[in-house]
Structure 1
Amino acid sequence: MQQKIVIKVLPSESEDQQLLTQIAAQACSVSTDRITGYNILKKSIDARSRQIWVNLTLQVFIDEPFHSLPLIPLELQDVHHANKRVIVIGAGPAGLFAALRLIELGIQPIVLERGKDVRARRRDLAAMNKEGIVNPESNYCFGEGGAGTYSDGKLYTRSKKRGDVQRILSILVHFGAEEKILYEAHPHIGTNKLPHIITAIREKIIECGGKVLFENKVVDFILERDEVKGVQTADGETITASAVILATGHSARDIFHLLHSKDILIEFKPYALGVRIEHPQSLIDSIQYHTPNRGEALPPASYSLVQQVEAKGVFSFCMCPGGIIAPAATDVNEIVVNGWSPSKRNNPFANSGMVVTAEKADLANSSELKKYIKKNHLPATEALLGLYFQQMVEQKAYEAGGGNLVAPAQRMTDFVANKTSASLPICSYLPGIASSDLRQVLPPFIHKSLQEGFKAFGKKMQGYLTNDAVVVATESRTSSPVRIPRDSMTLQHPQIKNLYPCGEGAGYAGGIVSAAMDGEKVAEKIGVWS
């Protein structure tokens, strides 16, 4: 017999298997010796009151052999000699999971990645952190695994209607992730562990007959009568296939420009831009857990904040407890900051993006943006307004920081008071920070909204608004500023047959799990229409 129960225990009790068995026996009204084991189905922390609880949903086995929850099977085929092959542009979550699904469907994927494999990519990341040198083709956004590989590895998503979340988590476990991601309320792998998982996925794709080609940047599409036949790479090679999945990520600006130059429809997409804010982790712990010392039983605390400011949404994004702020620029003379956490989340800082929604009207009415477009002789197109706005702010941040990826920064209460900070606290951002008046970096509507948002957040979380926190500019890669449209039924581009926009870069996902689900969804459509 099996019984599903919901219990709550103290944090110190949540890992005690013997105690949990006793509690389960009591909840099931049986003796302890009749319980052969249990699976954790869900786990979450309830810190709403001073007494913190861990909520557990258990599948309890009584008087029958215990067995662990089975993983969803991967039914991969040998596609070395498949009759159909598909080009997948981009080896991020969308591209890799699309490739796996294509293999399950008996289709050979050819994955083209502009960047390097995870091992070679590390050297370029080290150059960014230590020397302020940006390789436009290999950085925190470009390379094997995409931005997700070195961007924390948080796996929770609000996009459950887009696909099977549990299937994606199960596949990640299959390739080396810990099983706890299957039941935790906010699953997280960690930047230190994701590269090994990504490498395992790539090796399986190749083992099954797929191809993964690094440092192969796509520079053109081969089109015949509004149908894509293949691509051309930067080294002049032409690769043909039955279909092309465009999974390039939110920072592949050259792809957006290429589509525009070929009169292939792209659209403006609202997105969010702002800063990254870093507090001492101990401060966030004390606010969220109502205690000066969380102990070893509780994980580093996180938070999620949102506030409406004069019809503008101000919200936290990609909160990283026990994390690090990282340089995420993809071109020279730009500053972009992002955050990540190792699996143990054991760094002394907590950082989060704090961003403001940017709508088309905000940008169309910006005289500063108009001057930037004119000065740089950029194509005056509505579809690329968000991209230009993003570039403009990132370049201003670089100038304010003084070069070498040094980021402009301000203490939090100084930011609210429009006061340049006389000194800055220690910050995890390795290239370094420089005291700046961030009004010189952020557009007025972004800056004002953040100021009011910070005041509101300080009331929601007593102690959050503090000069012990540092505001670092600029967090500008929250999502793609461009949408590549696709037909809702076939998922093909409405103008170009067999071109499948996919994932975050096309505007259909936001994070590892939703991008992976979208990759699978597109692959399945190709299988249906093949």
Structure 2
Amino acid sequence: MIRINQLKLPVTHSTADLEHKIKKTLRLSSQEKFTYRIVRRSIDARKKPDIYYVYAVNVNVSKEEQILKKIHTPSVLSVREKNYQYPVSGDTPLLQRPLIIGAGPAGLFCAYLLTEMGYEPLVIERGKKIEDRMEDVENFWKTGVLDPQSNVQFGEGGAGTFSDGKLNSAVKDPSGRNQFVLETFVKFGAPEQILYDNKPHIGTDILSKVIVRMRKYLEEKGCQFFFECCAKDFIIENGGIRQIVCDKKTFDVQTVVLALGHSSRDTFEKLYARHISMEVKNFAVGFRVEHPQSMIDRAMYGADHFQGLPASPYKVTSNFPNGRGVYSFCMCPGGYVVNSSSEKEETVVNGMSYSGRNGQNANSAIIVSVTPADFGASDPLAGMRYQRKLEHAVYKLADGKIPQQMFGDYCNNVESRQYGDFLSSTKGAAQLSNLRGLLSSDMEQSFIAGMQHFSHIIPGFDRADAILSGMETRTSSPVRINREKNLESEIHGLYPCGEGAGYAGGIMSAAMDGLKVAEAIIQKYTNKRQIERNK
């Protein structure tokens, strides 16, 4: 197979233009047939306003060796595609069906692989299935009445269901898990372009439908889901996990996957009380910052709008002499700031986009790094308590609404009285306030310096009427539940997994870690059905 890299085409090109470029690059005659697959597509805006799509494609064509011999350029080479390999089952008898706690990306993809391999897992989820969960979330945004078990954080699909639906990951992936996850999303209805876009996303509207189809498929193949079923206790005997006690049912278990979300605070407390090994973890906190999307497009593309180009994302980062890192997180082009609270009298925000990314504003969390030194880490749950302290202070500022402030007013430490040249795009009620005093003075100065530094990259980033929303505190889990090389914790049969356990940082990395844990279980155990067939 031939790989062609660095195929540049204008943003308004057609499929025929791409195929012509392939033919020209490989010097194919008009009669020679070929097929191709787009491997990657990115946008090159370095010489704005001249902007291009840049492709990498894999091409199948006869006489491949002859073609390669006459082309002497590093952008054309021979490759072999590597597909994800299903694991081989182990020898240890698995007499109980695997139990997965959590139906977010980690739990769902762990369940998917186990189901495909015939292990018929059980999945318990404290929240509701998506169809019911979405009603609860919309009701919360409209009325402010929170259901602590069914909200933006808890329920089928996890917190990522109400996000931008980003599907890119910085995780190195020689095993092909990343591609396998993307192909699985496409199998259940995601657009095929996520297989090759440099920064793939599907938005909350498509992601929610994909997850429903995935769950129904798993149920048809023997996986069983228990919604509104929260793990309350963990019974350990002789160094191994033996029972999971839920509010509605008790499960006898041999293997348990802890695919928790980063907001499963009561579960963290119970695990700590049961002496499950865990440690405090660094994370970051800050504010959602809104700008007009047209301003971001102008900075990144050189004009307000280009036909054929999506709303532009951005990524900014900086480090300061005081050791603080300040950077953007979960940037949402054409998106909304959403009230993502999950506990009474505590307010937290996140960002969300629909697949079209056609909202008026861009928003991103601009966050400041936090270390155990900032909150006096006396035990593994100290970071969680720090998050709660911040969220309760934010709640009191606006009585449960999203407190907002203009950046200029934040710098001057005065309460905002009105918006500037653009209005905020939120899901959930908002109220103008003063966000100063929530962070330490050192963190506040780092945040301000970061905003000012980013204006050298994106002109106007530190504009006085940029809208800050408080606060983004759950950028990642504040704890790590320790696990060994075989991915088990020190408790035999207990597998910490995904974002809440401290091993992932987004939809893709969580899903990939779910596959990784499923592989570990499969490679160790022979499932009950296999044992019965071999009798």
What is the TM-score with the length of structure 1 in the denominator? 0.90
CA contact (8 A) 1:3 1:28 kept: no
- Look up the equivalent residue of 1:222 and give its one-letter code: I
Find the counterpart in structure 2 of residue 229 from structure 1.
242
Give, in angstroms, the shift of residue 104 of structure 1.
Answer: 3.0
Q: Which moved more, 1:88-97 or 1:35-44?
A: 35-44
Tell me which residue corresponds to 2:455: 458
Cα separation, 2, equivalents of 1:441 and 1:153:
29
Give the equivalent residue in structure 1 for 2:54: 55
**Residues 219 and 233 of structure 1 are in contact (CA less than 8 Å); yes or no, is this contact kept in structure 2?**
yes
SS in 2 for 1:12: coil
Runs of 5+ in structure 2 lacking a partner? Answer: 64-80, 526-535
Match of 2:295 in 1: 283
Comparing 411-420 and 496-505, the one that deviates more: 411-420
For 1:520, give the aligned amino acid. Answer: L
2:406 to 373, 391, 411: 411
Aligned-pair CA distance for 1:492: 1.1
In structure 2, distance between residues paired with 1:183 and 1:91: 26
Runs of 4+ in 1 over 4 A off after TM superposition: 61-64, 69-77
Question: Are 2:486 and 1:473 aligned?
Answer: no
More displaced 10-residue stretch of structure 1: 110-119 or 94-103: 94-103
Quote the residue 1:215 is aligned against.
228
CA distance in 2, matches of 1:418, 1:180: 45
Residue type of the partner of 2:261? G
Partner of 2:515: 520
SS of alignment partner, residue 354 of structure 1 = strand
After TM superposition, the structure 1 = structure 2 runs for residues 368-379 of structure 1, keeping only pairs within 5 Å, are none
My pick for the range that moved more, 197-206 or 421-430, is: 421-430
Report the equivalent of 1:499. Answer: 494
Tell me the CA shift for residue 46 of structure 1.
Answer: 1.1
Q: Which residue does 1:370 correspond to in 2? A: none
- What SS does the corresponding residue of 2:350 show, helix, strand or coil? strand
Change (3 A) 1:112 1:485: same
Residue equivalent to 1:376: none
1:312 maps onto 2:311 in alignment: no
Shift in Å, 1:75: 10
Secondary structure of 1:221 counterpart: strand
More deviation, 55-64/171-180: 55-64
- Cα distance in 1 for partners of 2:47, 2:154 equals 43
| 1:321 and 2:320 matched | no
**In 2 relative to 1, CA 529–3 (structure 1 residues): closer, same or farther, beyond 3 Å?**
closer
The one-character-per-residue Cα deviations of 1:237-270 (angstroms, maximum 9, x if unpaired) are: 2111221111111000001110122222221111
Equivalent residue, structure 1, for 2:66 = none
Of 274, 299, 305, 2:310 maps to 299
Per-residue CA distance 1:39-84 (angstroms, 9 max, x = gap):
21110001122221211112334469xxxx998698999xxxx954
Q: What is the count of residue pairs matched by the alignment?
A: 501
State the match for 1:44 in structure 2: 42
Q: For residue 55 of structure 2, give the secondary structure of its aligned residue in structure 1.
A: strand
C-alpha distance in structure 1 between counterparts of 2:331 and 2:435, whole Å = 21
Distance (whole Å) between structure 1 residues aligned to residue 182 and residue 192 of structure 2: 9
Q: How does 1:335-484 map to 2 (within 5 A)?
A: 335-364=347-376, 381-401=378-398, 403=399, 405-424=400-419, 425-484=422-481
**Secondary structure, in 3 states, of the residue corresponding to 2:380?**
helix
Give CA deviations for 1:308-334 in whole Å, capped at 9, x if unaligned: 122111110000001111111111111
| Residues 54-133 of structure 1 aligned to structure 2 (within 5 Å) | 54-62=53-61, 83-133=95-145
CA 413–32 in structure 1, closer or farther in 2 if over 3 Å, else same: farther
Q: Which residue is 2:69 aligned to?
A: none
1:21 maps to: 19
Question: 142, 154, 179: which one pairs with 1:142?
Answer: 154
Cα separation, 1, equivalents of 2:226 and 2:404 = 39
Residue 30 (structure 1) shift: 2.2
Equivalent position to 2:276, from 248, 264, 274: 264
| Identity level (%) | 38
Larger displacement relative to structure 2 (299-308 or 438-447): 438-447
Compute the displacement of 1:520 (Å): 1.1
Distance change in 2, residues 1:2/1:311 (3 Å): closer
| Residues 33 and 61, structure 2, Cα contact 8 Å, conserved in 1 | yes
Distance 2:275 2:38 in 1: 52
Are the aligned partners of 1:4 and 1:58 in contact in 2 as well (CA < 8 Å)? Answer: yes
Counterpart in 2 of 1:31? 29
On the 8 A contact 2:142/2:429 being kept in 1, the answer is no
Which position in structure 2 is the counterpart of 1:371? none
Partner SS state of residue 391, structure 2? helix
Aligned to 1:369: none
